[in-house]
A and B are shown apart, each in its own frame.
Chain A
């Protein structure tokens, strides 16, 4: 990760729902739990969250329904006004932006994909995709050209004149994705984009999404309640419960070192061997013998070698330089479960 300033940075963000949330937050005793707050008649949608999103990174926010993940992402784009704390987007405090500049920010920098697509039913595919361009006043010709380009990018060529209800769920979400990409945003929010789809289509769309991300390399905040999806896509995962972030780390670390009991329960049934990479297991400074393995290889990918090999320390390399060595036993423990 780079040392540049984060694209989105939030400090001690609170979002409270209720009659007079601002006053409540001011007079609230520190250390109140989610249930304590609810007993007072308020709901803590986001509870004291501090998190940074870096350029080009994919941050996945994971949590069960009602955990505040959707609320948090809506705070990033100020679809919700936050109750306390600060959120800066590319250095600008978004709560202090006047409406005009906020609209400008959304028109030029942000794109968002919604769980139930949020398509306008009276517009064709092409008109839906061109909608953000139309709103910012681009002329008909350029917006049509750009919209056609994005429609092609998401593989909906030939469906430009269809109406949303004439498309399948997967196709509709492609339209949603195309629309969010039309303005070439730097920051891309995806709110459970694949949850409403069938499992098979979901897998297909995830692949499609990874392909797009490889081409576009955007800064992404991705929301899901599906832990497998999170592991599959994320650079980092933030796990939320009752409005608070329980842990925010790389998938490897979350699986290996769950910070709380709640996170541990989530990781329990996960096949860790498919998540943990050699790079994470490597101890810097240690040396091993023989051919090195690649830092990006999962334990699962190395399984046969791990079983057949008899070295105790295996060197690990990243980009052709050795970064350390991995104890074979540690990798085997992950593959087979620790010895009792």
Chain B
């Protein structure tokens, strides 16, 4: 949250997350190379350098695939939220693994020239006018640059500096990056691989990512676009204690109504940090707590507790005939709003 920046904001949980992640990457690459080494030989199509570039390349592919599954999985099932917690470190490590793959490619296929390896690669690519035989190294290179942008702008500073909407828009580059990787593999290794296991895993995982995103999209379609000033939200009794109901005002604006005992307050559903869904979090120590990274706000004024300084917009509410209504017009971030008080009967 808003404290002096440090190079990496680690805590005990993130240390554990990163340790498991690095161990899995090392294990995958070690096993891949150990299993493949007996078949690798300079006189064959597969040698040790190609084996290593495949080890890092497939590792980056699976990591990127998993990263893209985390978002929709967390939207569909809250049990996946802990995986989302440290997704940025996951992404940076993926970029490092992909970069290592690229270095093996450059240093094996484009060495021994008077030019730099990158210049040699750019000078030797052709076949842009055809699908089969398209220079897949260009697809991989552009994807690597996009992953580099995402990794290089992953520090919390960038979120504050760019603002969450701009940062989020920039990080939508993950979609073209993955599409380029899928094209890179589809038109490359997939074309001449006789290994059915890889083919099934690759096609299955890429389709799985697409299906998960489709399911998450369908879940989010419920929209309240009525042009009235006050929007009917819900009955107070519909909200569990220390939890929230999420109300959609328009396609890009949602409100979370939090209940603490008999007190009801409405705040923006988007966390000031990364736009996490606050309404899917709960009240912890009297504060609305984001389920993604634990950023906290007081429900009545949308302000983080001192010494933190983040603020989110609040909304006015009214209670009519036992129903809560939300004023469509958001208040400035940090505006104090008197909570609605309502004693819920038969509260289970």
Asked if A and B bind, the verdict is: no
